[in-house]
Amino acid sequence: MDDLRASLVSVLGHGDFPLLMGAIVRLVAQGEPVALDRLADEAGLPLDRVESWLHGQPGTDWAEDGRLLGFGLTQRRTPHRFRVGNRVLYAFCAADTLFFPPMLGEKASVESTCPSTGQRIGVELTPEAVTSVDPATAVVSQASLHFDMTDIRANSCDHGHFFASLDAAAEWRRDHPDGAVRPIGEYFTVGLAASRELGWAAA
């Protein structure tokens, strides 16, 4: 597990990414489109750097008025529903949902569908732990962390899913030999440790 933690910290800790993603998640989670000047203030970064990075990512979700709908965590529907408080949000990939409760300091629930079996998958989380997984055999996939950062959503996020079991993930594993499939609780533990190193979660 330590190798995955180290890899996550290495990739996610690059440049402005930790400050920017922490701010994106906190503001998008409020449920309203986010003005970029507000995001820049929250992240403590120059507005031009924030604008350049987000507009350089083809997968960024935008409102018609140019405000941000999401990156990683989004207000636009995806296959991975993320409920926190009374707000329903969505995630680019399954693994992302396991990072958000520690980042927000709030309990959350996740609902997705196994792409192989069509089975509903539900996960309940606190900022410190996974408290429920249904079915208990469910796993989460993580594409190789050695990917082209010019389009994070297409090259990494779109390959992250919840599967009903390890067997249900067999085809994904064949198609992604450099990726990983892990029990949801195990991945959460790794992600929590990485989040603490990145300053996203309380120590």
Taking a C-beta distance cutoff of 8 angstroms, is the pair 112, 125 a contact?
A: no
pLDDT in tens, 67-77: 999 999 999 99
Please state the rounded mean pLDDT for residues 1-25: 86
Q: Answer yes or no: is 182 within a domain.
A: yes
pLDDT in tens, 101-129: 999 999 999 999 999 999 999 999 999 99
Q: Answer yes or no: is 115 within a domain.
A: yes
Residues marked as catalytic:
93, 96, 157
Please state the rounded mean pLDDT for residues 6-29: 91
The number of domains in the chain is: 1
Collapsed DSSP state (helix, strand, coil) of residue 108: strand
pLDDT attached to residue 164: 98
Radius of gyration of the chain (CA): 16
Please state the rounded mean pLDDT for residues 85-90: 96
Q: Answer yes or no: is 63 within a domain.
A: yes
pLDDT attached to residue 145: 82
Range of the domain at 122: 2-198
The reported pTM is: 0.94
pLDDT in tens, 36-75: 999 999 999 999 999 999 999 999 999 999 999 999 999 9
Neighbouring-strand partners of residue 124: 109, 132
pLDDT, greater one: 194 or 14:
194
Q: Answer yes or no: is 81 within a domain.
A: yes
Confidence of residue 2 (pLDDT cuts 50, 70, 90): low
CATH number at residue 127: 3.30.450.410
174 has pLDDT over 80:
yes
Of 148, 145, 156, nearest in space to 190 by CA? 145
Q: Answer yes or no: is 203 within a domain.
A: no
Q: Answer yes or no: is 187 within a domain.
A: yes
